[in-house]
Amino acid sequence: MKIIVGVIELFFSKKGKGLAYLVGLWLMYSCNTASEKIDFSTQIKPILNTKCITCHGGVKKNGGFSLLFQDEAFAKTESGKPAIIPGDASGSEFIKRLKEDDPELRMPYEKPQLSDEEIQLLSDWIDQGAQWGQHWAYTLPDKVPVPTIEQKASIIDEGGNNFLQNEIDNFVLARLENEGISPNALADKNIIIRRLAFDLTGLPPKESLYSDFMEGKLSYENVVDTLLTRKTFGEKWASWWLDLARYADTKGYEKDNGRNMWRYRDWVIDAFNKDMHYDQFTIEQLAGDLLPNPSVDQLIATAFHRNTMNNDEGGTEDEEFRVAAVMDRVNTTYSVWQSTTMECVQCHSHPYDPFKFEEYYKSLAFFNNTRDEDTPDESPNIRFFDEDQLKRRNEVVSWISKYGSQDMAQSYANFLLFKEPKYLAHNAQNFMNGELADTKYLALWKDGSCELKNIHTKDASFMFMEYSAPLNGTVMTIKQDNDEGQILAQFKIDKTEGRIIRRIPFKKIDRPVDLYFEAKNDNIKEQVSTSFITWFAFLEDIPGANEVGYDIINQTFLNLLNSKTDKLPILVENNREMSRATRIFERGSWLSLSDTVSPNTPKSLNPFKEEWPENRLGLSKWLVSKKTR
């Protein structure tokens, strides 16, 4: 400004006053225009998003130029030079192309030219240094003073027209006064209690509560406290959350079979009625199974992410729909807890939010290690034992605790509770004379064979197998690695009434192994399935083999596995041997795998602390962290 004043004085001293006056005005206008700080988020980004991003961001980066992120916008293009040179609009190819007369060179290509005002705004922004700025939605709000308004507070109109009840009302009233609008008069008491009851419980007030309030026996605060104690409070407000949780009593897709999820619904209702802390409410639903010694209620809470659809249609690929469920969990988590459309980033970097394509799959890695695999029974399921079953379960766990270790006892307790870990038969491969029946069940025909890769048998003496069989006389042999390997198990399969779980003697082996299955039955026709196998499992042998009652405990365990119970789909994490690597999907296709990534959160948001585990529990702690920077 001092330079400009000096120039004006020079013109006044040597030139005519009129000329000096005109030049001075021009210089002052130029200074004021340039000195007005241009805001990237509100002035520049809208232009880029509507006029440029289509060709220079997201999937397309024509000319090697992208305007999605700062590092991309200032990077070298295919020409070898950056299109934007901060501080030099006239030297920036970006501005030159906006001003081109040749329609083959002018940008946006084959679209209307930007207005002079838009081009000038972009030019000024670059001359000011092309500061990128932070997305407005991810900046912390500034604390503002509460407007001071002199008015007496009272919830019930006792002759005056009192409006202020809390500091929020100060802002409302200040805005009303600014707009020249007067607030409505306070509602009558009978209207207030009806509104309050409907807001809190979704139902009208009971007659006794209504009368006591109208007669002055209960204050407004008393009525609020009373309504908050009603079960209907949780029922009313849980309905909003259940929508976010995509709660349903059916699985979706083609068959849309029934699904038993009411226990999760009741968990949400109870959480509202108990006024559960938001942090706990979040952590238990996203990672209740990963908490130390999780309770049954904490396992039920994880059904939040088992409301994903499940495809039972024959001919579908289970892995495709497992992946679809995992992606739904990523998208839902960010939508519910972050209010952002993360699903956009599945295929390309977000055109509006500051999330990069690779960051989607780092977030997906938090969810990719759950045990569910789009199976018809929606396993894993938590099982609800009756009193007698629970007693027998405790006998098994107590025996193992006494003669073994607490870790082993916990593994058996977990297996009885939700039957994990197990190997699903739909992962079998290299079939000869056999198939995945209905793309779900391992079904070998006459002289059939297949393989199950990388199985950890835990040096066990027994294998557990769930299956059904339509006929008698099948002999199944399991060999190590291939058809010439040593025999690990050989057993006969006869017709069953429904699905059963069987305990089969197995040769101990202390390393991961490929299992080769053979089925023999000379009394059947070609392409007739000898059995329909669902899963295999290996557990360390129950300890105390030399103790009295050992055989009874083993049989009790097997009987409990086969017992019928109510159940509910839950989340259970893979163990170390079954963990999955997460890879980027090119253009969002689960069949086009690219680089491997580790769990992490978007860099534009609050940092992920080193002390948090890189799993759903760590993610849930990140979501409720109060420190954003």
Q: Which residue's entry shows tokens 């055989």?
A: 551
Residue 348's pLDDT is 85
pLDDT tens digits, one per residue of 269-297: 999 999 999 999 999 999 999 999 999 99
For residue 527, the domain's CATH number is 2.60.120.260
SS3 label, residue 375 = coil
**Predicted confidence (pLDDT) at residue 84 exceeds the cutoff of 90:** yes
- Region of 202 please: left (phi>0), alpha (psi -120 to 50) or beta: left
Backbone angles phi, psi at 378, to 5 degrees: 55, 30
**Predicted confidence (pLDDT) at residue 232 exceeds the cutoff of 60:** yes
**Predicted confidence (pLDDT) at residue 20 exceeds the cutoff of 90:** no
**Predicted confidence (pLDDT) at residue 210 exceeds the cutoff of 70:** yes
For residue 79, the domain's CATH number is 1.10.760
Backbone angles phi, psi at 111, to 5 degrees: -140, 165
Q: Are residues 257 and 328 in the same domain?
A: yes
CA gap 320, 550 in Å, rounded? 44
pLDDT tens digits, one per residue of 31-81: 444 558 898 888 998 999 889 988 888 667 888 998 888 888 899 999 999
Q: Which of 212-216, 252-256, 284-288, 395-399 has the lowest mean pLDDT?
A: 252-256
Q: Which residues pair with 354 in a beta bridge?
A: none
Reported confidence tier of residue 6, pLDDT bands at 50, 70, 90: very low
Which of 437, 411, 415, 412 is closest to 425 using CA atoms? 437
**Predicted confidence (pLDDT) at residue 324 exceeds the cutoff of 80:** yes
Backbone angles phi, psi at 531, to 5 degrees: -165, 170
Residue 7's pLDDT is 38
Q: Are residues 309 and 364 in the same domain?
A: yes
Answer yes or no: is 54 within a domain. yes
CA gap 487, 490 in Å, rounded? 7
Q: Number of helices (H) and strands (E), helices first, in the chain?
A: 20, 15
Q: Are residues 460 and 560 in the same domain?
A: yes
Residue 499's pLDDT is 95
pLDDT tens digits, one per residue of 481-524: 999 999 999 999 999 999 999 999 999 998 999 999 999 999 99
If you average pLDDT over every residue of the chain, what do you get?
Answer: 90
Reported confidence tier of residue 21, pLDDT bands at 50, 70, 90: very low
pLDDT tens digits, one per residue of 123-162: 999 999 999 887 777 777 888 999 988 655 545 444 335 7
Answer yes or no: is 499 within a domain. yes
Determine the average pLDDT of the residues in 563-586. Answer: 95
Which of 573, 368, 579, 571 is closest to 456 using CA atoms? 579
Answer yes or no: is 143 within a domain. yes
Q: Are residues 76 and 174 in the same domain?
A: no
Report the domain count for the chain: 6
Answer yes or no: is 392 within a domain. no
Residue 137's pLDDT is 77
Q: Which residue's entry shows tokens 């305990």?
A: 503
Q: Are residues 122 and 208 in the same domain?
A: no
Which of 484, 483, 470, 492 is closest to 517 using CA atoms? 483
Answer yes or no: is 415 within a domain. no
Residue 454's pLDDT is 96
Answer yes or no: is 393 within a domain. no
Token pair of 134 as six digits? 């932070």
Could you tell me what percent of the chain has a pLDDT over 90?
74
Displacement of CA 605 from its chain's centroid (Å): 16
Residue 577's pLDDT is 92
Containing 14, the helix (H) or strand (E) segment is helix 2-14
Determine the average pLDDT of the residues in 261-271. Answer: 98
Q: Which of 337-346, 353-362, 421-430 has maximum average pLDDT? A: 421-430
Could you tell me what percent of the chain has a pLDDT over 70?
92
Choose one of 171, 200, 229: the last residue of a domain: 229
Q: Which of 12-26, 205-219, 404-418 has the lowest mean pLDDT?
A: 12-26
Q: Are residues 278 and 301 in the same domain?
A: yes
Reported confidence tier of residue 118, pLDDT bands at 50, 70, 90: very high
Determine the average pLDDT of the residues in 423-448. Answer: 95
Decide which of 12 and 554 is more confident: 554
* Containing structural domain, residue 224: 189-229
Q: What is the Cα Rg of the chain in Å?
A: 34
SS3 label, residue 444 = strand
Residue 176's pLDDT is 92
pLDDT tens digits, one per residue of 349-376: 887 788 999 999 999 999 999 999 999 9
Q: Are residues 280 and 359 in the same domain?
A: yes
Q: Are residues 330 and 251 in the same domain?
A: yes
Answer yes or no: is 601 within a domain. yes
Residue 152's pLDDT is 52
Q: Are residues 434 and 557 in the same domain?
A: yes
Q: pTM for the whole thing?
A: 0.85
Kind of pairing between the strands at 487-493 and 593-597: unpaired
Q: What angle do CA 522, 523, 525 make, to 5 degrees?
A: 95
Residue 31's pLDDT is 42
Residue 26's pLDDT is 42
pLDDT tens digits, one per residue of 194-203: 999 999 999 9
Bond preceding residue 613 cis, omega within 30 of 0: no
CA gap 354, 350 in Å, rounded? 7
| CB contact at 8 A, 450 and 430 | yes
Q: Are residues 614 and 538 in the same domain?
A: no
SS3 label, residue 625 = coil
Determine the average pLDDT of the residues in 580-604. Answer: 93
Distance in angstroms between the alpha carbons of the first and the last residue of the chain:
37
**Predicted confidence (pLDDT) at residue 15 exceeds the cutoff of 60:** no
SS3 label, residue 308 = coil
pLDDT tens digits, one per residue of 596-614: 999 999 998 999 999 999 9
Token pair of 613 as six digits? 């585990």
Choose one of 229, 254, 281: the last residue of a domain: 229
Which of 200, 188, 299 is closest to 567 using CA atoms? 299
Token pair of 164 as six digits? 């202020």
Decide which of 143 and 267 is more confident: 267
Q: Are residues 326 and 298 in the same domain?
A: yes
Determine the average pLDDT of the residues in 447-469. Answer: 97
Which amino acid type is present at position 90?
S
Q: Are residues 248 and 273 in the same domain?
A: yes
**Predicted confidence (pLDDT) at residue 22 exceeds the cutoff of 80:** no
**Predicted confidence (pLDDT) at residue 575 exceeds the cutoff of 60:** yes
For 559-602, the DSSP string reads HHHHS--EEEE---B--GGGPPPEEEEGGG-TTSEEEEE-----
Containing 298, the helix (H) or strand (E) segment is helix 296-301
Answer yes or no: is 412 within a domain. no
